[in-house]
Amino acid sequence: MTATASSGRPGPSAVDGRAELAPGTALTDPRFVNDDLLPVPVAGRRWTTYNFAALWVGMAHNIPSWMLASGLVALGMDWKQAVLTIALANVVVLVPMLLTGHAGPKYGIPFPVLARASFGLRGANLPALVRAGVACAWFGIQTWIGGQGVFVLLDKVFGGWAEASKAGGQPWTLWLCFVLFWALELAIIYRGMEALRRFENWAAPFVVVGALALLGWITMKAGGLGPLLDQPSKLGWGADFWPVFFPALMGMIAFWATLSLNIPDFTRFGAGQRAQVLGQTLGLPTTMTLFALLSVLVTSGSQAVYGAPVWDPVALAAKTDNVFGLLFALVTVLVATLSVNIAANVVSPAYDLAHLAPRLITFRRGALITGVVGVVIMPWKLTATPELYIFTWLGLVGGLLGTVAGILIADYWLVRRTVLDLEGLYRADGPYWYRGGWNPAAVLAFAVGGVLAVGGSHSAPGTGPFPEDGLIPFLKPLADYGWAVGLAAALLLYTAVMRRGTASRPFFRSS
């Protein structure tokens, strides 16, 4: 294929500091180029502050994020501690989100192409695969939860669905809901990013209205918000609290650490830095905090009405006998889960898989592969317990993703000062070829940071897959801080090696 390119420095091919491909230069290497990986022209970067805020509102309002606060309360926190933990985590994760997102509006490139600057043209497949694997697992989790929600509500409306004959241990009607939900997700994303933008624009306010309607309904039923807000923490604020708080904080950060890597997949369509910075700042920490608070208030009302807290919003909605209310809840569950799953868990692996084989895999084919892999690996089992969900799954994933984020931030901000050779990101004879397409500094930083972040992973007996003393026992004290350890270690090591390597170029470049 043929494309045009310029250097990443503002010049004749830049508009307001946003570089784009200039006429006259052909990019023909099919190993690194296809239409989905090329920079978005400046004229095509139209996402506004509202588009980015709506994207986050739509993604944050989903069943798993609703249940984050419930998971923390189940671990012994009271509602104030749970909401504080979630709020702090999302303020923290916003920082790498904005730092990596900067390259999107400036250069119009997706995450795997940005990773070429630090990992090399071939080495970028390493972080792309890590991100794609995590997204496929999340896609399966969200799709299963969405299918269950549809199943529960349709059973309440029509009756008899739960008593249907079983296949694979589940009613066949549940599998039908799962498959239909899965197909609907892929049908939307197959239409491309512009369709996603339009979907998120109306999905975000709809889901907010649905959540507030649920709060209003349960408040009327309860005659108030119930006794949950007065219940003391089982952990207090002393020695029992901090051993739960720090790994929980890392788990909450890990919930969106995936997007802190591939946010350029969205910001590449941004009208400018102001749009992505304001949109994300207004959309992410505020929405997640308010949604966590909303979930606690609704659950408080459920305790007053039913004598026990009902943390699952689908199960709570199913308790009403109002057909209109049930149908409204069904549509809200559909829109909420579609909104987050398509944006957070299909877009990224679609680009990442296209990056592996640009000649064979397009964005749409990558999305279809994601859908298939997300079903085959059956990751929904990870949500079986709060310990497994928060400490094992989110903790392990957060450590690895934090390591990649540290390398991306170090390379883009500390080593290159946000200046990239845009043409060089697509050429094997450019500055990002290093040694055979791999940057040894990035591989070293990823290996060291990853081991430090997750090497001490441990589980209490019967609650997870890791040894009680940790995979590498002397690293066990670091495991509760996996995301922060991985990010800091990789950032510092990569920066040090790259700056040292500037004076010793043969270490980085093949002959």
CA 448 to chain centre: 23
**How confident is residue 181, by pLDDT bands cut at 50, 70 and 90?**
confident
Q: Indicate the range of 124-133, 256-265, 309-318 predicted with least confidence.
A: 309-318
Residue-level pLDDT at 381:
64
pLDDT in tens, 264-286: 999 999 999 999 999 999 999 99
Percentage helix, strand, coil for the chain under 3-state DSSP, each rounded to 5: 65, 0, 30
Q: Which helix (H) or strand (E) holds 267?
A: helix 264-267
Instruction: Give the total residue count for the chain.
Output: 511
Kindly report the pTM of this predicted structure: 0.82
Q: Which carries the bigger pLDDT value, residue 429 or residue 200?
A: 429
Q: Which helix (H) or strand (E) holds 183?
A: helix 172-189
The DSSP annotation for 342-379 comes to: HHHHTHHHHHHHHHH-TTT--HHHHHHHHHHHHHHT-G
Q: Is the pLDDT of residue 431 over 90?
A: yes
DSSP state of 5: -
Pairwise CA distance, residues 300 & 292, whole Å: 12
Q: Is the pLDDT of residue 124 over 90?
A: yes
Pairwise CA distance, residues 66 & 402, whole Å: 23
Indicate the average pLDDT of the chain: 81
**How confident is residue 7, by pLDDT bands cut at 50, 70 and 90?**
very low
C-alpha dihedral (430, 436, 438, 444), degrees to nearest 10: -130
pLDDT in tens, 452-476: 998 888 777 766 677 778 789 899 8
Residue-level pLDDT at 263:
94
pLDDT in tens, 24-73: 767 878 889 888 889 999 988 999 999 999 888 877 777 777 777 767 77
Q: Give the residue from 238, 186, 213 showing the smallest Cα distance to 370.
A: 186
| CA atoms lying within 13 Å on the CB side of residue 486 | 30
Q: Give the residue from 316, 291, 308 showing the smallest Cα distance to 228.
A: 308
Share of the chain above pLDDT 70, in %: 87
Residue-level pLDDT at 254:
77
Pairwise CA distance, residues 255 & 89, whole Å: 9
Q: Give the residue from 392, 391, 228 showing the smallest Cα distance to 311.
A: 228
Q: Indicate the range of 64-78, 83-97, 247-261, 380-394 predicted with least confidence.
A: 380-394
Bridge partners of 40, per DSSP, are none
pLDDT in tens, 321-338: 777 777 777 777 777 777
Residue-level pLDDT at 231:
63
Residue type, 460: A
Bridge partners of 270, per DSSP, are 47
Question: What region does 394 belong to: left with phi over 0, alpha with psi -120 to 50, or beta?
Answer: alpha
Question: What region does 434 belong to: left with phi over 0, alpha with psi -120 to 50, or beta?
Answer: left
Neighbours of 223 (CB within 10 A): 10
**Long-range CB contacts for residues 233-238, cutoff 8 Å, separation at least 24:** 233/76, 233/77, 233/78, 233/80, 233/81, 234/76, 234/77, 234/78, 235/76, 235/77, 235/81
Residue type, 211: A
